[in-house]
């Protein structure tokens, strides 16, 4: 007993998928208990990044996908003109890099929004493994398909919805993702800056600010800086009209 604990302490970076609290969200979700070792064989666990550090950079050779273990990550595309487009925010258990699997280089840049640890899955080994574990392959298809759907939902949000609707939708999406991770769904701290929110939702920072204060005046939320409290979730859902991205990123 004491030995088992000691082993764990001696090699904290090798903490196994077996005892990771995210195993019900992350890749291990799809793998049988006895095959989990094979997944552990290919993963490099526990890399740590500080706020603002890049996990990978666009146009750099694509090697690995990454699962967020703790903290949070923002992905974005930089155009030739130097404009940034935020393509997603990622929370613990979510997989980054799926959009790069068609190219030799990363299709976007991933940046830690706070102190963040990630697990790295080299793609060559991952592909080899999914070829052997049908369940894992299925899960990969599942995740990638989900990513497509999310992106379609985002496109829809951008093309059809008002500023208020977009922001309400984002708040609700974050809320349900926090809930899944057993954190408060009504009381959380936004990992990203207003700027990132604006960019992600295709708005100006000023507009985001204005909508936040408007929601606040209506008693729907309480916000001070990045600290947010959802006071009236029903009202938020009303704002989003017909919007179906409930439990997904």
By CB under 8 A, name the binding residues for its own copies. Answer: 77, 79-83, 85, 87, 98-103, 107-108, 127-128, 130-131, 134, 137-138, 140-149, 151-152, 154-156, 158-160, 199, 201-202, 241-244
Helix, strand or coil, per DSSP, at residue 204: coil
Dist. CA 229–CA 115, nearest whole Å? 23
Could you give the CA distance from residue 76 to residue 84 in angstroms, rounded to a whole number?
6
Query: What is the nearest approach in angstroms of its own copies to the Cβ of residue 82?
Result: 8
Partner from DNA, its own copies, none binding residue 46, C-beta < 5-8 Å depending on class: none
Whether the Cβ atoms of residue 127 and residue 140 lie closer than 8 Å to each other: no
Q: Give the one entry of its own copies, DNA, none that residue 99 binds, where binding means its C-beta sits below a cut-off of 5 to 8 angstroms depending on kind.
A: its own copies
Q: How far is the CB of 198 from DNA (least distance, A)?
A: 7
**CA 109 to CA 60: how far, in whole Å?**
9
Could you tell me how far CA 14 lies from the centroid of its own chain?
23
| Interacting residue ranges for DNA, rule: CB under 7 A | 162-164, 193-195, 202-210, 212-213, 223-226
The candidate with the shortest Cα–Cα distance to 74, out of 100, 40, 117, 108, is 108
Helix 123-132, helix 134-160: angle, nearest 10: 120
Write out the two tokens for 21: 């609290």
Nearest CB to DNA, comparing residues 163 and 231: 163
Residue closer to its own copies, measured from CB, 121 or 188: 121
CB of 73 to DNA, least distance (A): 16
Which of DNA, its own copies, none is residue 115 near (CB under 5 to 8 Å by kind)? none
43 interacts with, out of DNA, its own copies, none, CB within 5 to 8 A per kind: none
Separation CA 195–CA 206 (nearest Å): 9
Instruction: Between 22 and 168, name the residue whose CB sits nearer to DNA.
Output: 168
- φ, ψ dihedrals at 33, nearest 5°: -50, -40
User: From the list DNA, its own copies, none, which binds 12 (C-beta under 5 to 8 Å, kind-based)?
Assistant: none
Residue 81 contacts which entry, DNA, its own copies, none (Cβ below 5-8 A, type-dependent): its own copies
Q: What are phi and psi of 171, to 5 degrees?
A: -60, -40
Shortest distance (Å) from residue 51 CB to DNA: 7
Q: How far is the CB of 46 from its own copies (least distance, A)?
A: 26
């Amino acid at each position: 007993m004491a030995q088992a604990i000691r082993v764990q302490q001696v090699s904290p970076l090798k903490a196994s998928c077996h005892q990771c609290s995210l195993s019900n969200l992350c890749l291990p979700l799809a793998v049988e208990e006895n095959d989990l070792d094979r997944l552990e064989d290919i993963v490099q666990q526990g890399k740590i990044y500080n706020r603002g550090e890049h996990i990978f950079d666009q146009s750099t050779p694509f090697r690995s996908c990454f699962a967020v273990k703790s903290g949070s990550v923002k992905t974005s595309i930089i155009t030739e003109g130097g404009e940034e487009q935020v393509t997603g925010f990622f929370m613990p258990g979510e997989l980054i890099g799926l959009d790069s699997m068609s190219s030799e280089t990363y299709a976007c840049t991933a940046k830690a929004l706070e102190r963040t640890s990630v697990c790295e899955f080299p793609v060559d080994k991952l592909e080899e493994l999914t070829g052997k574990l049908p369940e894992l392959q299925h899960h990969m298809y599942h995740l990638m398909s989900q990513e497509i759907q999310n992106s379609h939902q985002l496109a829809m949000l951008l093309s059809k919805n008002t500023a208020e609707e977009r922001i309400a939708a984002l708040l609700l999406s974050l809320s349900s993702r926090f809930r899944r991770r057993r954190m408060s769904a009504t009381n959380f701290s936004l990992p990203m800056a207003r700027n990132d929110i604006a960019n992600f939702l295709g708005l100006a920072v000023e507009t985001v600010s204005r909508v936040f204060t408007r929601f606040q005046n209506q008693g729907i939320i309480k916000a001070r800086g990045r600290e947010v409290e959802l006071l009236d979730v029903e009202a938020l859902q009303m704002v989003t009209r017909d919007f179906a991205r409930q439990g997904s990123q």
